[in-house]
Amino acid sequence: MGVKEGLKGRSFITLRDYTAEEIAYLVDLAAELKAKKKKGITGSSLAGKNIALIFEKPSTRTRSSFTVGCLDEGGHPEYLGCGDIQLGHKETVADTARVLGRMFDGIEFRGFSHATVETLAEYAGVPVWNGLTDDFHPTQILADLLTLKENFGRVGGLKFVYAGDGRNNMANSLMIGLTKMGMELVILAPKVLWPREELVRECEGYASASGGSLTICEDIACVKGADAIYTDVWCSMGEEDKAAERIALLSPYQVNESMMASTGKAETIFMHCLPAVRGKEVTEGVLEGRQSVVFDEAENRMHTIKAVMVATLGNY
């Protein structure tokens, strides 16, 4: 694939900032990098680049994806845990951003407040990539889109049901990304966990531009015809105290064998960003079953995150 103009030097904070064409390019670039890696071919587009990986919250997939993706392209990743640096404690986030921006060529941030990653991007002077905040998880969506494309050969027109907490970072990011890509997105959740009205309006705008649709519903009958059913943990990182309340609210929305059968399609796939809590948001049988693509999806985190770094920072 050729270089796509206009991506170099850009941060990746939410999918709001990216057009459908740019998102499709990143997914296709990831597919190309994945195919090359399967043949043992890695690159050097990040040679000489130092990348800071700031983590306030734990991570398996995202941390490993940034690390391996960076190393595969010849860059140097440096993990900076929240206990290791001064971020927001002894100095302001803006000061840390300016210091790290003088030393590193790109910065990944995972943490609590979305404002932190926005401040880093505003002050660092180098690309900043959002590895998850309380509000958004945009790199996950690229992996989800790649996984859908691998399974169906396309994403536009697919019916995709997200069942669970409709107000969390995954729901928010799926809403932006999938409506931009022309998908039929259903957020299936109890009314108290429906997405914010303002975000719904924004994403309805993306859907009408792309030919997709966005439906918010609380009746599990809406899974009928779904090509993919997706869920996420009922308590996101930092919400552990809400467990009892969420179990009561979300148990009817568990993705189980009965829900998968209710799509009426034998080829419906099951997706989850992981980590999963078996027996809560998804049954063991569905997670381990023939329709589950969760480990392809996890692997695709690395190829898509690599694509983001290569496209925004790499010599490619």
Least distance to ligand NVA, CB of residue 237, Å: 4
**Which residues inside 217-246 make contact with ligand NVA, applying CB under 6 A?**
232-233, 236-237
**Which residues inside 21-80 make contact with ligand NVA, applying CB under 6 A?**
none
Contact region with ligand CP (CB under 6 A), list: 20-28, 54-62, 150-158, 303-311: 54-62
Binding partner of 11, given ligand NVA, ligand CP, none, CB within 5-8 angstroms per partner class: none
147 binds ligand NVA (CB under 6 A): no
Binding partner of 60, given ligand CP, ligand NVA, none, CB within 5-8 angstroms per partner class: ligand CP
Count, residues near ligand CP per rule CB under 6 A? 9
**Which residues inside 128-167 make contact with ligand CP, applying CB under 6 A?**
132, 140
Least distance to ligand CP, CB of residue 4, Å: 25
Supply the residues annotated as catalytic.
110, 137, 140, 232, 273, 301
Q: Of 205 and 275, which CB lies nearer to ligand CP in the complex structure?
A: 275
Peptide bond connecting 127 to the previous residue in cis, omega within 30 degrees of 0: no
Site residues (vs ligand CP, CB under 6 A): 59-62, 132, 140, 273-275
